[in-house]
Amino acid sequence: MVDINMRIKYLSTFFISAMLFSTTTFADLQKGIDAANIGDFETAKAEFEYLAQNNYAPGIYYLADLYANGHGVARDYNQAVLLYEQAVKLGYEDAMFALAVLYQDGKGVKVDSSKAAELFTQAAKKGVVAAQFNLGVLYTNGIGVAKDYELAIDWYTKAAAQNYTLAQFNLALMHFEGLGTPKSISKSYIWNTIAEFNGNKDASQSRKLDERKLSPSEIKLAKEKAEEIYQQIVAGKYVDGRRI
């Protein structure tokens, strides 16, 4: 007969051990990141290699970054690709984005826009804001995917909701041109204003152009809406850009 108390004791010990390993790996990761931030790439590499050997996705990702950027090692895109691929298999979203960029630029792999789009999509669905923006660009221009302005707007909106100013500016352009959505100078003004709040100088110039096409009352309403949406974005509560 199996001693149930022994089984519970074993499971408790295993759980505590798993917690200790998790805490240790996070500490090692932070030690590696801190070392890299001050230019101590030898220490960073040692920490990341240890974590990679233990199949810890963030450690594998940061080790790949060292090879991709030539920090503490000779730049080696081929090795970076291999490591990013390992982290991607473990579901690490930052590695999905980094690998997508390499496929987009043809570094360590042949240029493959479709593969890049696939990886950007994986990362975007996990909330990586730069991937969401890049997908918007791909769908706007039909790079690696079929051109689809509505999908472009959807991805720009997701990125804009995370206060990504380039996505906010591009949303304004889509509304101004009527791409994937009815043409609306008011909505263009709104998103240009929001992007301008984030210091986007191009958006500032575009907003001034929008202003010439709007009445004083329309400008007042658009400005109020922009401020309202911006506060929602900052609070992490903005979701649907199609309902403004």
Q: What is the CATH number of the domain that holds 111?
A: 1.25.40.10
> How many domains are contained in the chain?
2
Last residue of a domain, one of 75, 97, 126: 126
Is residue 47 domain-shared with residue 71, that is, in the same domain?
Answer: yes
Q: Is residue 141 part of a domain?
A: yes
Residues contacting 83, CB < 8 A, separation 6+: 52, 60, 61, 63, 64, 67
Is residue 141 domain-shared with residue 244, that is, in the same domain?
Answer: yes
Is residue 201 domain-shared with residue 182, that is, in the same domain?
Answer: yes
Residues contacting 89, CB < 8 A, separation 6+: none
Confidence at residue 219, expressed as pLDDT on a 0 to 100 scale: 99
Interatomic CA distance for residues 131 and 118, integer angstroms: 11
Is residue 14 domain-shared with residue 98, that is, in the same domain?
Answer: yes
Is residue 65 domain-shared with residue 136, that is, in the same domain?
Answer: no
pTM of the model: 0.87
Own/partner pairs for 139-146, CB < 8 Å, 24+ apart? 140/170, 140/174, 140/179, 143/113, 143/117, 144/112, 144/113, 144/114, 144/115, 144/116, 144/117, 144/118, 145/114, 145/117
Closest CA to 170 of 199, 211, 197, 202: 202
Helices (H) and strands (E) in the chain, counts: 12, 0
Q: Is residue 32 part of a domain?
A: yes
Closest CA to 65 of 54, 53, 49: 49
Confidence at residue 23, expressed as pLDDT on a 0 to 100 scale: 59
Confidence at residue 207, expressed as pLDDT on a 0 to 100 scale: 98
Is residue 107 domain-shared with residue 19, that is, in the same domain?
Answer: yes
Confidence at residue 26, expressed as pLDDT on a 0 to 100 scale: 78
Last residue of a domain, one of 83, 98, 126: 126
Residues of the chain with pLDDT under 70: 1-24, 240-244
Last residue of a domain, one of 89, 108, 126: 126
Helix axes 77-89, 93-105, angle to 10 degrees: 140
Q: Is residue 5 part of a domain?
A: no
Domain that holds residue 192: 128-244
Q: Is residue 97 part of a domain?
A: yes
Is residue 205 domain-shared with residue 150, that is, in the same domain?
Answer: yes
Is residue 105 domain-shared with residue 17, that is, in the same domain?
Answer: yes
Is residue 230 domain-shared with residue 240, that is, in the same domain?
Answer: yes
Is residue 120 domain-shared with residue 160, that is, in the same domain?
Answer: no
Is residue 60 domain-shared with residue 15, that is, in the same domain?
Answer: yes
Is residue 88 domain-shared with residue 136, that is, in the same domain?
Answer: no
